[in-house]
Amino acid sequence: MTLSVAVRWRREGDFVLDVNIDLPPSGVTALFGRSGCGKTSLLRIIAGLERIGGAQVQFRGQCWQEGRHFVPLHRRRTGLVFQEHSLLPHLSVRGNLVYGYRRTPPRRRRHHPDAVTEMLGIGSLLDRPVDRLSGGQRQRVALGRALLSSPQLLLLDEPMAALDTQTRREIMPFFSELAGQADVPIILVTHSPDEVQRLADRVVFLDEGRVTRIESLKQALSHPDSPLFFDQGAASVLTGRILPDREDGMLRFGNDRLQLLMQADRPAAQAGITRLSIQANDVAISRQALDGISVINQLPMVIEKIEAFRPGRVLVAGTLADGQRLSAEITERSCRQLALEGGQTVYALIKSVALLD
Amino acid sequence: MFGLAPEDWQAIEVTFRLCLYTTLILLVIATPIAWWLAGGRSPARVVVQAIVALPLVLPPTVLGFYLLIVLGPRGFVGGTLESLGLHHLAFTFEGILIASVIYSMPFAVQPLTEAFSSLGRRPAEVAGSLGAGIVDRFFTVILPLTKGGFVVAATLTFAHTLGEFGVILMLGGSIPGETKVLSVLIYDHAEAMNYEAAHRLSFMLMVFAFVTLFVVYSITRRFEVAKV
């Protein structure tokens, strides 16, 4: 019951895509790597958009490609969301949404157009021509359209890469809600560590056409030299949920043993998010709980290990009250002055404004 | 009407039948060829592109000559037909129809290739991923998005077939009601010093050609404006 792909393909020039992977067909799998590492080609092979001789693709016991056997695109029932401009321009928003729905046999339909429209907040756009939508609206329609074809596998090809930061922030909650629902396995092609941290359950790292490693998100975040940290530095992901009852007008996120306060006015905060991504350099460490400081979130944490990170910096990784891991990036000097060492209990200080940005 | 003789009417009928059939057949044949030319990566593309464009540069007599050989009683196609108890295709309407299809091929393939190239593969890929089969994809996505290209291809094919002369004369001769098209009839009229009849038909063709091209160019203009 897996998605297996085996392919060796020499593309124009000297680029070789050489991949042989088995992935559990559940949750969100990110294909992560720089542009040109072959992640989109891999996605296209899985979708059936690219027919490469000798490739083998199997999904949940169905053979999609092997030898001369090739299941064409429209029989694989995979939902695709591309980077941009994939709406059919001669159809309205409604026409796009129901294009796949109409072609899905009624017994296979898992979603109703009304429900999807409401979930994605596109009810007011239904009669609009698609060239009068903003980038974020377009991607929501593309996502809804893919969902309404009730796919058995959802393939997202950098769905947020073409959006500006503001729009990405608006649309991310829809993707994370979808990722959290887990009723369809998702393959997400991305070069954004942020998207991986917010959406993925496991990461396939690709480099120059080869898979360098496959790890759970937790593992991927646990070593300081992870490729996820190359651009924006180290980060941790905390899972939880938005708790009922606000405190001083701020939202509470976490579970019964761990709570963080965050601002309620962020678009992401309205939706049912289940993950927070926290940059390690937004976290400070204190030996005691502090009064008279603007930082609201002070979480007790047991230090697990201290590792050299960048020159002059160390990464302090610890376990929080509920067993989740958090990393703080501090200077070597602070580390020495505080005499930090494994097993110590310290306080992780997180500014709430740093959350969700 | 218009002072036309029955012979003229017969030629008009043959001509329009030829143009109509050629256009319909070519739209069916040219569409997959153009799609493949617009998207394929294979080196065979260039070869096919060159073959399709051959009628643009060859003298019509060359094409007509080879078709006469192939389709005639001793040619590969004509001979096979004869041995099956059928008639060979030289000097028949079917023969000049095949010739027209080949001769006007570039006028159908090139506008369609251009339309498909500028459309890109994405819409068809999207439709496929949403469960649409190839025919479904063509009629619900590709055709509506490239109808400008189809209008141009159809009109140019029709108009170009109307202007055919050399190929038909070589392969079809001048058999009334079968292969005698307008262009050939005008030639016959002129040969017989019947200038008045030749002038009438020539003028009609000229007006028709102008109106056709005028309509095509206004339509393509509208499609281009609509795209922006």
State CA A241 to chain mean position distance.
17
Q: Do A82 and B128 touch (CB under 8 A)?
A: no
pLDDT interval class at B13 (50, 70, 90): very high
The pLDDT value given to residue A113: 93
Residue B221 has pLDDT above 80, yes or no: no
Q: Are A298 and A349 in contact (CB under 8 A)?
A: yes
Instruction: Indicate whether B225 pLDDT > 60.
Output: no
Q: Domains in chain B: how many in total?
A: 1
Of residues A49, A145, A146, nearest to B125 (C-beta)? A49
Residues 6+ apart with CB under 8 A from A118: none
A83 burial (CB, 10 Å; 0-12 / 13-18 / 19+) is middle
Q: What is the pLDDT of residue A294?
A: 82
Contact in structure between A120 and A143 (CB atoms under 8 Å): yes
**Amino acid in the structure at residue B141:** V
Domain span holding position B149? 6-227
Contact A121/A143 with Cβ under 8 angstroms?
no
* Contact in structure between A316 and A285 (CB atoms under 8 Å): yes
Question: Cβ contacts (< 8 Å) between B123 and chain A: which residues?
Answer: 86, 88-89
Residue B165 lies in a domain: yes
Residue-wise pLDDT for B68-100, tens only, equals 999 988 888 888 888 888 888 888 999 999 999
CATH number at residue B154: 1.10.3720.10
Q: Write out the two tokens for B195.
A: 């200038």
Low-confidence ranges of chain A (pLDDT < 70): 1, 182, 265-272, 353-357
Q: Looking at residues B191-213, what average pLDDT do you find?
A: 91
What number of C-beta contacts closer than 8 Å exist between A and B? Answer: 58
Count the alpha carbons within 13 Å of A26 in the hemisphere toward its beta carbon: 5
Report yes or no: B130 and A73 within 8 Å, Cβ to Cβ: no
Tell me, what's the pLDDT at B228? Answer: 41
Chain B residues in contact with A149 by the CB 8 A cut-off are 129-131
Q: How far is CA A148 from CA A94, A184, A285, in A?
A: 11, 12, 47
The phi and psi torsions of A260 (rounded to 5 degrees) equal -125, 150
Chain A hits for B130, Cβ within 8 Å: 74, 99-100, 103, 145-146, 149
- B81 neighbors B87 (Cβ within 8 angstroms): yes
Quick check: A71 contacting B, CB < 8 Å? Answer: no
Q: Report whether B185 contacts B201 (CB < 8 A).
A: yes
Query: Would you say residue B222 lies in a domain?
Result: yes
Q: Which residue has the higher pLDDT, A13 or B20?
A: B20
> Average per-residue pLDDT in chain B?
90
Please enumerate in sequence order all residues whose Cβ is within 8 A of that of A86, keeping only pairs 6 or more positions apart, or say none.
A80, A142, B122, B123, B126
Residues in chain B: 228
- Does residue B124 belong to any structural domain of this protein? yes
As annotated, the residues of chain A forming the CATH 3.40.50.300 domain(s) are 3-225
Q: Quote ipTM for the complex.
A: 0.81
A3-225 has which CATH code? 3.40.50.300
B54 pLDDT more than 80: yes
Q: Which pLDDT value is given to residue B224? A: 62
The conformation of residue B86, written as its DSSP 8-state character, comes to -
CATH 2.40.50.100 location in chain A: 238-354
* C-alpha dist (Å) from residue A33 to A36, A78, A302: 8, 22, 33
Nearest to A324 by CA among A251, A165, A217: A217
Selected from 3.40.50.1360, 3.40.50.720, 3.40.50.880, 2.40.50.100, the CATH number assigned to the domain covering A238-354 reads 2.40.50.100
Would B1 be classed as within a structural domain? no
Do A201 and A27 contact (CB within 8 A), yes or no? yes
DSSP states of A106-136 as a string? GGG----HHHHHHHHT-GGGTTSBGGGS-HH
Helices B93-119, B6-39: crossing angle, 10 deg rounding: 40
| Per-residue CA distances from A171 to A184, A351, A352 (Å) | 19, 24, 21
Q: Which of B128, B133, B141 sits opposite A88 (nearest CB)?
A: B141
Q: Which chain B residues touch A97 with a CB distance below 8 Å?
A: none
List all residues 6 or more positions away from B47 whose beta carbon is below 8 Å from its beta carbon: none
More confident of the two residues B56 and A241: B56
With a CB cutoff of 8 Å and minimum separation 6, the contacts of B135 are none
Can you tell me the distance from the alpha carbon of B119 to that of B143, in angstroms, rounded to the nearest whole number? 11
B210-227 in b/e burial notation, b at 16+ Cβ within 10 A? Answer: eeeeeebeeebeebeeee
Q: Which residue out of A74, A145, A149 would a mutagenesis test of the B interface target, given it has the greatest number of B Cβ atoms within 10 Å? A: A74
Provide DSSP, A170-218.
Answer: HHHHHHHHHHHH-SS-EEEEES-HHHHHHH-SEEEEEETTEEEEEEEHH
